[in-house]
Amino acid sequence: MVTTEYPPMHGGVGRYTFNLVRELRKVGLVVQVVCNEHGDGDYLGLAPSNDKNYEVLLEIVNKVSPDIVHIQYEHGLYGLLLDPFDPRKTRTNVDRFYDKCPLPIVTTFHTSFTFKQWMSLVIPTKNYDKFGRVAIIGHKLKKYCAHIVNYNSFNDLNKTKLRKSNEGIVFSKYMRDKIGGGKVIYHGAEPVIPFPSSKKQARARFALPENGRIALAVGFRTATKGWDIFNKMNVPSPWKVVLNSSKNHYNVENFNPRFDGKKGIISLDMDFLNDTELSLLFYAADAVILPYKVSSGSGVMFDAIAHGLPFVASDLEFFREFSLMGLGLAVKRNDKSFTQALKDLDTNYESYLKNVNAFKSNIRWDSIARKHVEIYEGIIKNTITQVKNESQSSSI
């Protein structure tokens, strides 16, 4: 299993991979993890800045000789290099592995953007603060140009890896259509602790109001998560919006949202929560609120559903797909739309809750693991058949 990001590193890809590996091992698979030196994997050496990632992987593959190499693919985690002049040269530091790997490859795709979302990724970073506003603007313009000319090449990186993989896995029909193929297997999620004796008990742990509804916003402290909307939003009764953000391992953004004194907003300021704390916080809430500017897939949304919570989210293609299943609302990304969405959710809460509870069995980790095992077994069976056919052909 290949992933740059892996616990104890903070990050959604790493957390997803850790949970998947745990479940695959439960059903008897021998899974060895290759990751960054800060992760607790079996083999180390991967990093976004390492232009020899493919060599690291090839050396490990030759040493271990696994049946299958499963890559958790998120462009930036392997080092995405955008060429602002010749998009044909745009690449990641894992591309060459797909050409040289002698074994079957499965790729799980974590990132796929529309053009609007792709351009929303252009943000200033801390490295340019000390040079002043002109340097920040210049840096942003440079990134805008690089993004404009590289949108198609970015998508081609996904399509090329899908073509060179024995199977691709995506979290939604939106991602499947955007990439041009792959098998839809939802992001797994389930509570790590049982429901407490009451919602009030869960709220007491975080000193939250006993009564009324709570919409929870949790995630990394990045501009693309849309934290800015909470400073504009009028939170309607009977709702309170509870916020908690943290910084991930690779985050270099100059972004530190504050909501002091904003009516209807409660900021926990607890930074990173472990899985037990996060699970308890979900139990304390009635919904999650996701005003994202960019999203290919949301582990927070799946976690919320696993805890029996509907969502209110920006009308991005990924969220829209699940809102059409009646699991939440996807609305225009502005304060008035989110305010109205909370009102609508309150009015029809029992209907959304019923849909969520009916759906959440689809994302249990044991079910997700079985679907992966079916893919692995199919590939191995096909590989054995191919080898036999080649052997018979050569003996004729």
Residues 212-236: what's their mean pLDDT? 93
**Top-confidence residue, 284 or 220:** 284
Query: What does the pLDDT look like over 23-63, one tens digit per residue?
Result: 999 999 999 999 999 999 999 999 999 999 999 999 999 99
Q: Residue 388 pLDDT > 80, yes or no?
A: no
Instruction: Identify the pLDDT of residue 385.
Output: 76
Instruction: Identify the pLDDT of residue 221.
Output: 84
Residues 289-306: what's their mean pLDDT? 96
Q: Which of 83-92, 166-175, 312-321, 336-345 has the lowest mean pLDDT?
A: 83-92
DSSP-derived secondary structure for 322-353: HHTTTSEEEE-SSHHHHHHHHHHHHHTHHHHH
Instruction: Identify the pLDDT of residue 304.
Output: 98
Is residue 303 very low, low, confident or very high in pLDDT (cuts 50, 70, 90)?
very high
Query: How would you classify the pairing of strands 80-81 and 91-92?
Result: antiparallel
Task: Tell how far CA 196 is from the center of its chain.
Answer: 27
Mean pLDDT score across all residues of the chain: 91
Domains (ranges, CATH) in the chain?
12-185+365-391 (3.40.50), 199-361 (3.40.50.2000)
- Residue closest to 179 by CA, chosen among 251, 107, 245, 235: 107
Residue 166 contacts residue 106 (beta carbons within 8 Å): yes
Residues 258-268: what's their mean pLDDT? 84
Question: How much is the pTM?
Answer: 0.91
Instruction: Identify the pLDDT of residue 61.
Output: 96
Q: Residue 206 pLDDT > 60, yes or no?
A: yes
Q: Residue 390 pLDDT > 90, yes or no?
A: no
Residues 6 or more apart whose Cβ sits within 8 Å of residue 388 = none
Is residue 130 very low, low, confident or very high in pLDDT (cuts 50, 70, 90)?
low
